[in-house]
Structure 1
Amino acid sequence: MNFLLIIGGLVLLIFGGNWLLKSAVALSLKLDIPKIVIGMTIVSFATSAPELIVSIKAALSGSSDLALGNVIGSNIANLGLVLGITLLLGTMHVQKGFYKIDWPVMMIASLLLYFFLIGDNVITRNEGIVLFSFLIVFLVYILRFQKTAVLDELPEDDEPLPLYKIVLFLVIGGLGLWGGSELLIKGATSMALEFGVSERIIGVTVVSIGTSVPELAASIIAVLKKEKAISLGNLIGSNVFNILAVLGITSIITPVVVKDQGLLTNDIFWMLGISFIILPLVFIPKGYRLNYKDGVVLLAAYVIFIYFTI
C-alpha cells in the first residue's frame, strides 16, 4: 500500500511540474517578465507549497522537529540532490543576477534562521514576522528592478496561451504537486516509521526528499525543454521561500521549537555549507556556468550528508 502511494505521488508530481512550467512560461511571455523572475516567484511558491502544508501540520501537532527538519532537509536536497541531478543532464548558464541578488538573499535568509535558532532553540512569532517581511521586501525588489536587469532569451517553441489556460495550468499544476507530495510523504513516512526512525531523521531525509520532488520534477522538465533560467531560479527561489515563507508563516501561527539538537549541531551547518558552495562552483573553473562536474560534487555532498545523518 505504501509503495503504491509513493508511485502515485511521483506520477502526480511529474504531471504537476509539467503543467506548472507551461503556465509559468506562458505568463512570462504575456507579462514580458524574465523567466528567472517567474521561476523565483510563481514556480517557487507552488513547489514550496508541500513544505508549507507539511510544516504547519507538523508544528500544530507538536512535531516541531519534523517541521524544521523538513525545511532544512529540503534546502539541502534542492541544491545537493535536485541541482546535482539537473546538472548531470546538461550545462546550466548562470545569469549575473544570481550572485548579485539571488545567492546573497538565500545566504542572508539561511544565516537569519541560524541566528534565530542558535540562542534559544526556538523561532518565535516575532522572528517569524521578520522572516516573512524579508520575503515581501525581496519579492517587491525583484519584480520592480530585476525585470529589466535580467537578460532572457526565449526558445523558439514558446507559444502564448490565453489567460484562462494559464490559470488552469497553474491551478492544476499546483494541485498535482501538492497532491503528489501528500501521497509520497504519507507512503514514505509510514515506511520509515516501521523502522523506528526519529522524527528529525524522517524530517531531514524522507519528508524533505518527498517535498523536494516537485522541485526535481519542475527542474528536470525545465532543463529538458531548455528552460534553464526557470530551473535555477526555481531552486534558489524555493530555498528562499522555504525559510522566509514556510518557517515564517509556520512560526507566526505557532512557535517552532527545536527538540533534537542534531538539527543545530549537524543539519543546519550542512544547509549553510551547501548553500555557500554554489557560488565558487559557478565561477570555478569557468565563470557563469555549472556543468556535470559540479553536479557530481553536489550529489557527493548530499550522499555524505545522508550517510552521516542516518
Structure 2
Amino acid sequence: MSIVFVVLGFTLLVIGGEFLVRSSVALSFKFNVSKMVIGMTVVSFATSIPELLVSLHAALSGSPAIAINNVVGSNIANIGLVLGITAMVGSIAVDKSFYKLNWPVMMVYSIVLYYFLKNDNVLSAFEGMVLFLGLILFLVVLIKGAKKNHVIEQVDDALSTVSNFKIFIWLAIGATTLYFGSEWLVDGAKEIALSIGVSEAVIGVSLIAIGTSVPELAASVIAAAKQEKAISLGNLIGSNIFNIASVLGLTAIIKPIPVTEPLILSRDIFWMLGFAFILIPLVFIGKKFEINKFKGFCLVFAYGLFMMLLFTHK
C-alpha cells in the first residue's frame, strides 16, 4: 500500500505543480508583472513548491532527515540526472552568466548550507532567514542584469488572457493536489524505508528527490527533443539555488530542522557539493561552453554510481 501512496503522491505533485505554475503566471499577468520577472521569480518559486511542501510536511511530522535530504537529493538529481539525460538528448549551450553569476551563487549557497548544518547540527530559524534574504538579493541582481542585457524569459503569452474564475480553479486544484501529494509521498516513503530496512535519509535523497525532480526532467527532455533554445544550464542551477534558499530557508523559519542522520553531513552533502563543482571543468574541457552527449553520459554514470553506493553502503 505504501508504494501506491508514493506513486499517487508523485502524480499529484506533478499535476499540482503544473496547475500552480499556470495559475501563478496568469495571476502575475493580471497585476501587470513583466514576462521577464515572471520567468525569473514566479515560475522558479512555483516549481519549488512541491519540494517546499514535502520538506515542510516531513519536518512537521518528525522526519527532518527527509526534509534535508529531499533538497540535497534534488540538487544532485538536477545535475546528475536531469542535466545529464537532457544533454544526452541534445547538447546544451552554456552562456557566460553561468560562471559569472549562477554557478558562484550556487556554490556559495551549497557551502553555506553545509556550514550551517555542520556548525550545530541544526538549521535554525535565523539561518533559514539568512538563506531566504540571500535569495531575494540574488533575484534583484538577476533581474537588473536581465534588464541591462534585454533578456526575455520564455513565458506563455496565452496565460495573459485567462479569466479570474479559471485562475481560481487552477489555484484550488494546484493547492489541493500539492497538499495531498506531499502528505502521501512522505508517509508512503517512510513506510518503504521501514519495510526495506534503510534510513529515511536514504529514501529522502533517492526516491523522494527523484520524484520532486520529475517535472523538471520531463520539461527539459521534451524541450531538448524539440530542439528549443530555451533550455539553459542557468535554469537548473537556479532551481538548485531556490531549493536551498526557499525550500530549506522557509521550512527552517517555520520549524528549525535538526540533523538526525550523521551520513547527511559525512556523505550526502559532499555528493551535492561534488556535482555542483564538477560543472566548471565540464564546461571548459573539450568543446568549451557546451554540455554535449558524452559529458551528459558522464553525469548520468556518476549519478548511477551515487545511487548504487547509497543502497549498498552499510
State the partner residue of 2:222: 221
Where do 5+ consecutive residues of structure 1 fail to align? none
The residue that corresponds to 1:279 in the other structure is 280
Q: For 2:307 and 2:189, how far apart are their aligned partners in 1?
A: 16
Q: TM-score, normalised by structure 2?
A: 0.82
Q: Give the distance between the partners of 2:57 and 2:7, measured in 1 at CA.
A: 23
Shift of 1:179: 5.9
Contact 1:83 1:235 (8 Å CA) reproduced: yes
| Residues 1:256 and 1:16: Cα distance change in structure 2 (over 3 Å) | closer
Counterpart-to-counterpart distance in 2, 1:173 and 1:281: 41
Task: State the alpha-carbon separation in 1 of the partners of residues 259 and 57 from structure 2.
Answer: 16
Q: Which amino acid aligns with 2:101?
A: I
Q: Spell out the pairing of 1:1-310 with structure 2 (5 A cutoff).
A: 1-9=1-9, 33=35, 40-149=40-149, 160-164=158-162, 168=167, 171=171, 184-230=185-231, 232-310=233-311
Name which of structure 1's ranges 144-153 and 56-65 shifts more when overlaid on structure 2.
144-153
Contact 1:215 1:234 in 2 (8 A): no
CA contact (8 A) 2:93 2:232 kept: no
Unaligned runs of 5+ in 2: none
- TM-score, normalising length: structure 1: 0.83
Q: Deviations over 1:104-126 (max 9, x none)?
A: 11111101101112221112222
Structure-2 change in CA distance of 1:184 and 1:102 (3 Å): same
Q: 1:261 to 1:205 in 2, by over 3 A?
A: same
Query: CA RMSD of the aligned region, Å?
Result: 3.3
Helix, strand or coil at the partner of 1:194: helix
Residues paired across the two proteins, number: 305
Mapped to 2, the partners of 1:116 and 1:204 lie a distance apart of: 19
2:255 aligned partner, one-letter code: T
* Secondary structure at 1:131 match in 2: helix
Q: Deviations over 1:267-295 (max 9, x none)?
A: 11111110011122122211221111111
Aligned partners of 1:95 and 1:146: how far apart in 2? 13
CA distance in 1, matches of 2:227, 2:23: 15
Aligned-pair identity (%) = 52
